[in-house]
């Protein structure tokens, strides 16, 4: 263990919107709270507009900014490419970076189509770089603990899962037609944006995969007020004209788990009063687990073995013995949304230092993509059960 310490991992982040802020917070904070096996350098952030990108660099703590992602991705002095650009750009950037031997972290959903996701997984397999997709909600301590409990057999055989991701920002039929409501810009609606998270959550926590699905996509409000180009994507100036909504407002689907269980899913932007309600409950033969992202420091856990005093235990997952927690604050001190991004950095850097495949891999991301695709095909076929992949 003599010799020089390993050089820091030099990171380029492509994109700098809301997700860029969250990823930056992760890159900045992880080395301050955890003992990482490699140091990290926030080398460069890349965006289209040189001025706003420069300001983001300064604001979020990147050493430099740039506008040409291709040039950056091929620089010798970049080790990790972190992709937070919009979905349709993921495949090209990730594949280019992997071909250049870079390690890649790509925001979810992996791509807008299965074909793209397959190409990305192929590129990951062929590369010397390691690739990870950014399902950060896996990194919530309560979710990690749930995964461990299932893996340890604590709830027995998984019989059912019920998962929902409930938001409400479209409940008002006069909410404007933003880019997220157009297929050409967003790929899909609630299904891709929210459904991807609950599919990953159920597959991750159960350790199983969905093999077939039956689903329905629904748009409740078909026309919405156009917004000005200045604030959106629609290209018109009028506040009274209406435009077509071309993605789903809600997606509901059922799935078969590889272990024989049955899962139900709901992804919606019409659940009045639910702001970021990612919830799931896993029912097994020996017990159950339940989680709600709006109460993210808590895992609920039921065991038949508790007998006469059985009841869902409200576990505050903030003990030093719980996943990730020892690096933060004492017991009972709450963690928040962005802690997952620090944990993501910890896990990625640890995997890179060890030369091991980080999870969720691009293969994992592709599997989620295939599930979403099967839901869409099922919906077109009047909800008939449809095989995944």
Residues 349-388 that bind a copy of itself (CB under 8 A): 381-385
User: What is the smallest separation between the CB atom of 242 and a copy of itself, expressed in angstroms?
Assistant: 17
Candidate list 100, 288, 352, 368; residue touching a copy of itself; CB under 8 A: 288
Nearer to a copy of itself, 99 or 159 (CB): 159
Q: Is 11 in the site for a copy of itself (CB under 8 A)?
A: no
Q: Is 29 in the site for a copy of itself (CB under 8 A)?
A: yes
User: What is the smallest separation between the CB atom of 257 and a copy of itself, expressed in angstroms?
Assistant: 11
Query: In sequence order, what DSSP letters do the residues of 204-230 get, joined into one string?
Result: HHHT--EEEEEEEEE-S--EEEB--TT
User: What is the smallest separation between the CB atom of 359 and a copy of itself, expressed in angstroms?
Assistant: 22
Sequence-separated (6 or more) residues with CB below 8 Å from residue 102 = 73, 78, 79, 80, 81, 129
User: What is the smallest separation between the CB atom of 218 and a copy of itself, expressed in angstroms?
Assistant: 5
Tell me the C-alpha to C-alpha distance, in Å, between residue 68 and each of 8, 48, 80, 157, 172: 23, 8, 16, 50, 39
Candidate list 38, 55, 99, 162; residue touching a copy of itself; CB under 8 A: 162
Q: Is 113 in the site for a copy of itself (CB under 8 A)?
A: no
Q: Scan residues 297-356 and list those touching a copy of itself (CB under 8 A).
A: 297-302, 304, 306, 308-316, 318-319, 321-322, 329-339
Sign of CA dihedral 27, 28, 34, 36: positive
Residue 259 near residue 206, CB atoms below 8 Å: yes
User: What is the smallest separation between the CB atom of 149 and a copy of itself, expressed in angstroms?
Assistant: 7
Q: Is 173 in the site for a copy of itself (CB under 8 A)?
A: yes
Burial class (CB in 10 A: 0-12, 13-18, 19+), 21: middle
User: What is the smallest separation between the CB atom of 140 and a copy of itself, expressed in angstroms?
Assistant: 10
Q: Is 239 in the site for a copy of itself (CB under 8 A)?
A: no
Distance spanning both ends of the chain, measured CA to CA:
47
Nearer to a copy of itself, 4 or 382 (CB): 382
Q: Are strands 64-66 and 80-83 parallel, antiparallel or unpaired?
A: unpaired
CB 184: neighbour CB atoms within 10 A?
11
Residue 84 near residue 15, CB atoms below 8 Å: yes
* Closest to 268 (Cα-Cα) out of 255, 253, 249: 249
* Closest to 108 (Cα-Cα) out of 379, 373, 361: 361
Q: Is 240 in the site for a copy of itself (CB under 8 A)?
A: no
Residue with tokens 């604030």: 231
Q: Is 285 in the site for a copy of itself (CB under 8 A)?
A: yes
Candidate list 252, 348, 349, 368; residue touching a copy of itself; CB under 8 A: 252
Q: Scan residues 35-94 and list those touching a copy of itself (CB under 8 A).
A: 59-61
User: What is the smallest separation between the CB atom of 72 and a copy of itself, expressed in angstroms?
Assistant: 22
Nearer to a copy of itself, 235 or 260 (CB): 260
Stretch that binds a copy of itself, among 8-16, 202-210, 214-222, 346-354 (CB under 8 A): 214-222
């Amino acid at each position: 263990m003599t010799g020089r310490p390993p050089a820091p991992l030099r990171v380029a982040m492509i994109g700098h919107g809301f997700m860029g802020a969250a990823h930056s917070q992760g890159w900045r904070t992880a080395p301050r709270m955890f003992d990482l096996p490699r140091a990290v350098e926030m080398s460069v952030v890349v965006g289209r507009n040189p001025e706003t990108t420069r300001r983001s660099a300064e604001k979020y703590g990147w050493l430099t900014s740039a506008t040409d992602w291709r040039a950056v991705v091929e620089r010798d002095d970049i080790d990790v490419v972190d992709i937070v650009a919009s979905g349709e750009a993921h495949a090209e950037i990730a594949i280019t970076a992997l071909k250049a031997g870079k390690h890649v972290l790509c925001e979810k959903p992996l791509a807008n189509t299965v074909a793209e996701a397959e190409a990305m997984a192929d590129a990951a397999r062929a590369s010397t770089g390691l690739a990870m997709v950014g399902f950060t909600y896996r990194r919530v301590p309560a979710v990690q603990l749930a995964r461990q409990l299932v893996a340890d057999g604590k709830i027995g055989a998984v019989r059912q899962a019920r998962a929902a991701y409930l938001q409400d920002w479209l409940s008002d039929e006069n909410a404007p037609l933003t880019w997220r409501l157009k297929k050409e810009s967003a790929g899909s609606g609630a299904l891709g944006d929210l459904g991807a998270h609950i599919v990953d959550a159920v597959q991750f926590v159960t350790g199983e995969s969905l093999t077939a699905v039956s689903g329905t996509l629904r748009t409740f409000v078909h026309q919405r007020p156009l917004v000005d180009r200045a604030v959106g994507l629609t290209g018109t100036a009028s506040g009274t004209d209406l435009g077509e909504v071309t993605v789903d407002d809600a997606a509901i689907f059922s799935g078969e788990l590889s272990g024989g269980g049955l899962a139900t899913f709901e992804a919606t932007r019409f659940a009045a009063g639910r702001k970021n309600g990612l919830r799931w409950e896993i029912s097994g033969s020996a017990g159950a687990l339940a989680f709600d992202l709006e109460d993210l420091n808590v895992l609920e856990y039921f065991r038949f073995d508790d007998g006469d005093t059985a009841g869902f235990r409200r576990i505050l997952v903030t003990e030093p013995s719980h996943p990730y927690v020892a690096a933060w604050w004492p017991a009972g001190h709450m963690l928040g949304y962005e802690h997952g991004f620090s944990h993501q950095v910890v896990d990625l850097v640890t995997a890179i230092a060890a030369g091991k495949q980080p999870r969720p891999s691009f293969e994992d991301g592709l599997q989620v993509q295939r599930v979403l695709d099967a839901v869409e095909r099922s919906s077109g076929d009047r909800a008939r059960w449809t095989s995944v992949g």
